[in-house]
Amino acid sequence: MVTPVIMPRQGQSVESCIISEWFVKKGDKVKEGDLLFSYETDKAAFEEEAKASGTMLEIFFKPGDDVPVLTNVCVLGEEGDDYSSFVPGGVSAEHEKKKVEVEVEENAENQLESADINTVEPEIPTSAGELFISPRARSLAEKTGVDIRYAAPTGSNGRIIERDIRDLQQRGIMVTAGAKEAYKNLDQPLSGTGLGGRVTTQDIAHPAAVQEKAPEQILSRISEQLPSKTFEEKPIEMAYQDTKVPNIRKVIARSMHDSLTQMAQLTLNASFDAADIMNLRQQFKKNGEKMGLANITLNDIVLYAVSRVLPMHKAVNAHFLGDTMRYFTNVNLGVAVDTDRGLMVPTLFNANLKTLNEIAIEAKTLAQECQKGTINPDKLKDGTFTVTNLGALGIESFTPVINPPQTAILGVNTIGQKFRERNGNIESYSSMSLSLTFDHRAVDGAPAARFLKDLREALVSFTVLLALR
């Protein structure tokens, strides 16, 4: 009997998944429970096990293919079984393999372009006269200032699509708005001296200075740093290993790049006396088991305090949507989790309505699901504010990056010893520092500082905060 293997639906918000790796090939004998393939959403990675035993009759998609959920990915059965009725689209497997990549790309473009039918225009060739660009890709290129002449087309029939522009944005040539028109008339690309390597009007006015003088100055500096050759040099074989970048890593890279280039981010740092929360943590450890409490950590305590303070500061519990600010009544708290697959940020929904013990239990459950790769993608969205903790790694201060469209993110740092004067005496105390990054487009410095101030005070007197519940 032929058994189809479908692409699972991981959450209601996921419409397709990308195949990462196949663990079997056509013709292999497969037992129930064997790993067949791994796949990724834009948030998490998963592995699919065989639900039945048999021979791998056909594999319809290859690594890197974006497969719609509930689509037949492969078929198991006995050699000679007819599986034609299970081929996606009802065509032959050989034909499907050749067609699927083009179809996925075109469907993705069509979905994007159908969002605003009035903006759809005929495809136009680039200045080279050979490449074609989709209207969606052209619009993105104009917004980001990239030079489409240097894009590597991956769409059907040599078409430049949106992802090609995003790739070019990360590695390619970007131009400021003021220099855009003049740059179009240049025959050769220029090295930019502007922010992020962007070509400016000054670069266009003095191209020689940009292209020739700067490298000479750099080379001169390098030569001055080189030690004199006093021994016979021997060639050393350089050892390295190339590893393919996972799709999740690409998504993270793109998100971080977009966050830093599209926001006006500023970080405030502050510290507080952590004696109260440290004493409370010790009491939880000592009495938690007999009281039926979870393993409540310092991070759980910070999450609880954040969830109580945020509703009083709506500007940092919000989404910045360009021409609209969306302020939230409740707190959907994102909690950054380090995994082998990359950084994930599951959400504690309505954290301000949960007890400290409930937050501790749920935060650990979400972290475990992320680390195992079993997290539902629906739990990785809709956060209103994020907390990321590097304190366990000894970090004293850092600049966390905001998750758009959120307006702020809190970094939790390590505990260290500081000194202060009290009643004429110098004493040491345990200090924990916090780093708040906020989007200055949506939040001014004073409101951000007031949130950080209130959060510090809540943590200094955490036992009082608990009594308010």
Stated pTM of the model: 0.59
Q: Strand 35-40 and strand 16-22: pairing?
A: antiparallel
pLDDT at 219: 59
Domains of the chain in sequence order: 3-110 (2.40.50.100), 121-209 (4.10.320.10), 264-467 (3.30.559.10)
Order of all β-strands in the sheet with 124-125: 124-125, 132-133, 159-160
Beta bridge partners of 327: 318
Give the pLDDT of residue 190.
Answer: 59
Tokens of 190: 């220029």
Which amino acid, residue 176? T
Q: How far apart are CA 93 and CA 384, in angstroms?
A: 45
For residues 105-144, one letter each, b for 16 or more C-beta atoms within 10 angstroms of the residue's C-beta and e for the rest, the string is beebbeebbeeeeeeeeeeeebeeeebbbbbbbbbbbeeb
Give the gyration radius of the chain's Cα atoms: 27
- In DSSP terms, 319 is beta-bridged to 326, 406
- Give exposure, 283-306, as e/b (b: 16+ Cβ within 10 Å): ebeeebeeeebbebbbbbbbbbbb
Instruction: Specify the pLDDT at position 222.
Output: 59
Extended beta strands in 116-263, E state: 124-125, 132-133, 159-160
Alpha carbons 413 and 304: distance in angstroms, whole number: 16
- Digitized pLDDT (tens) for each residue of the chain, 469 residues in all: 889 999 988 777 678 888 888 999 999 999 998 989 988 876 677 888 898 999 999 999 998 888 888 899 999 999 989 998 899 875 444 444 444 444 445 455 555 444 443 433 334 444 334 457 777 777 777 777 677 777 777 776 677 887 778 777 765 556 655 566 666 666 555 556 554 456 666 666 655 544 444 555 555 655 665 666 555 666 667 778 887 777 777 777 888 888 888 899 999 999 999 999 999 999 998 888 888 888 899 999 999 999 999 999 999 999 999 899 999 999 999 999 998 878 899 999 999 999 999 999 999 999 999 888 888 888 999 999 999 999 989 999 999 999 999 999 999 999 999 998 888 899 999 999 999 999 999 999 999 999 999 999 999 999 999 887 6
Cα–Cα distance, 47 to 73 (Å, whole number)? 13
